Amino acid sequence: MSGKAIHIFAHRGCGVTDNGPQGALDAKGTALCSLPPENSEEAIETAFRKGYPVEIDVTMTLDGHVIVTHTNDLSFHNVEARRAREEREKGKGAKENDWYVSRKTFEEMRQLRTGLGGRTAPFLTYDRFIGLMRKYPSAVVNVEIKGTIQGELMAEPKEPSLVEMLAKRTPNNMLDRIIWSSFAVSNLHRLRLEFKKKSGKPRKNMPHVHVAQLFAEPDRLKAHGGEEDRVYPDTDDSYMQFTEENVARVNRKDVKAVHPSIDSLMTEEGAAAVRYCAKNGITIRTWALNEKNPGKETEASALAQRRIERILEYRETFPELQIDIITDYPEEVEKVVASWTMPTADADVKRLPYVKNGLQSGPS
């Protein structure tokens, strides 16, 4: 098989994702999975021990402490917060929602536990995560910068800001092992400026800051009116579709890596964007929301496997392209990657529809 080696990232560690099928409960409320919670110390350390790079998410408390968690809204991760949300939806309980990381102090966060799939754990602080990075000196991580007020990705003015705190709490000697990603290109620009300010050195002598632009899944763009949906209020940052034009836009801002959803790679526009990345030396790391296990014998799992195979077909078609996968199921995806071979033109295989102008036309 030709092409560059695919790096498989463990999405929020080797744990159970709170918004995915792994974290489901049965009719009696019993967890169907015994894995540690996503973004927990155990989930991340398990991935490091197995040799996988890891994707994590960060946001910030009311008093400026960085917390590792997927979203600012605690009802996605904490049992008490979930119950409070359900009470509000029924018209009961407090109308005001205080269950946000940004409305909790650090001491209040220390009293809470993360995990909706049965097992729980303390919320991981960013400082403790940095300790894990020291413990595993070859570990690589993708840190997604989240928002800090009501709403999953919105941000409010804070002094210091989340970006400033990340630059302050991250040792410069770890920058070669960290990839910073955000839906807001302004975050990436400001992060570079903060590390430059921190280093006090000319740009040519400062450590390289690896950044990557996130692109929204097509369903989100459709539901929110396309690219008019703002990531942050009062800024020009919009959720972007994975297109050649938008990749070229962030490339002009010296962003040399992109993180599109895997569904974006199945479209004609996505195929053109992939071709642009291959031509211009831009790395792709693709991800899936509510991902299904490709290692199971189900129709949904078969679809998940075919999506992975599409990534491998891209790699075969564009051998100069670096294309990686961020997944809830790193071990299963690794097996698919290791066993895959490019189908011949006359092979009797069930494929996803091929897009125009990207790969060769083929059966659906």
Model confidence at 343, in pLDDT bands (50, 70, 90)?
Answer: low
Element (H, E) at 323: strand 323-327
CA angle 232, 66, 177 (to 5 degrees): 95
Q: Is the dihedral of CA 231, 234, 237, 241 positive or negative?
A: positive
* Distance in angstroms (rounded) separating the CA atoms of residues 272 and 356: 9
pLDDT, average across residues 208-220: 86
Q: Per residue in 163-195, pLDDT tens?
A: 999 999 999 999 999 999 999 888 999 999 999
Cβ pair 106, 21 in contact under 8 A: no
N-term to C-term CA, the chain? 23
* Distance in angstroms (rounded) separating the CA atoms of residues 53 and 325: 10
* Distance in angstroms (rounded) separating the CA atoms of residues 114 and 152: 17
* Distance in angstroms (rounded) separating the CA atoms of residues 124 and 58: 10
Cβ pair 207, 226 in contact under 8 A: no
Model confidence at 96, in pLDDT bands (50, 70, 90)?
Answer: low
The pLDDT of residue 203 = 63
User: Any alpha helices (H) in the chain, and if so which ranges?
Assistant: 41-50, 79-89, 106-110, 126-135, 162-169, 185-199, 218-223, 244-251, 268-280, 299-317, 330-339
Helices vs strands, H then E, count in the chain: 11, 12
122: tokens are 């303390």
The larger pLDDT score, comparing residue 154 to residue 19, is at 19
The pLDDT of residue 202 = 66
Instruction: Rounding to the nearest 10 degrees, give the CA dihedral for residues 352, 356, 362, 364.
Output: 30
The larger pLDDT score, comparing residue 73 to residue 153, is at 73
The larger pLDDT score, comparing residue 54 to residue 35, is at 54
Model confidence at 152, in pLDDT bands (50, 70, 90)?
Answer: very low
Whether the pLDDT of residue 156 is over 60: the answer is no
SS3 177: helix
The pTM of the full predicted model, rounded to 2 decimals, is 0.86
The larger pLDDT score, comparing residue 272 to residue 221, is at 272
The pLDDT of residue 303 = 80
Parallel, antiparallel, or unpaired: how do β-strands 283-287 and 323-327 relate?
parallel
* Distance in angstroms (rounded) separating the CA atoms of residues 266 and 249: 21
Write the single-letter amino acid at 66.
Answer: V
Among the listed ranges 213-222, 255-264, 269-278, which one has the minimum average pLDDT value? Answer: 213-222
The pLDDT of residue 16 = 81
Q: Per residue in 77-94, pLDDT tens?
A: 988 888 888 888 887 766
Parallel, antiparallel, or unpaired: how do β-strands 257-259 and 283-287 relate?
parallel
Model confidence at 46, in pLDDT bands (50, 70, 90)?
Answer: very high
Among the listed ranges 25-29, 285-289, 348-352, which one has the minimum average pLDDT value? Answer: 348-352
Whether the pLDDT of residue 150 is over 80: the answer is no
109: Cβ contacts below 8 Å, ≥ 6 apart: 61, 65, 67, 101, 123
CA angle 336, 310, 179 (to 5 degrees): 80
Among the listed ranges 121-130, 150-159, 316-325, which one has the minimum average pLDDT value? Answer: 150-159
pLDDT, average across residues 146-171: 72
SS3 58: strand
* Distance in angstroms (rounded) separating the CA atoms of residues 194 and 199: 9
Looking at the structure, give the CATH architecture of the domain made up of residues 8-72+118-339: Alpha-Beta Barrel (3.20)
The pLDDT of residue 119 = 83
Parallel, antiparallel, or unpaired: how do β-strands 54-60 and 66-68 relate?
antiparallel
Parallel, antiparallel, or unpaired: how do β-strands 124-125 and 66-68 relate?
antiparallel
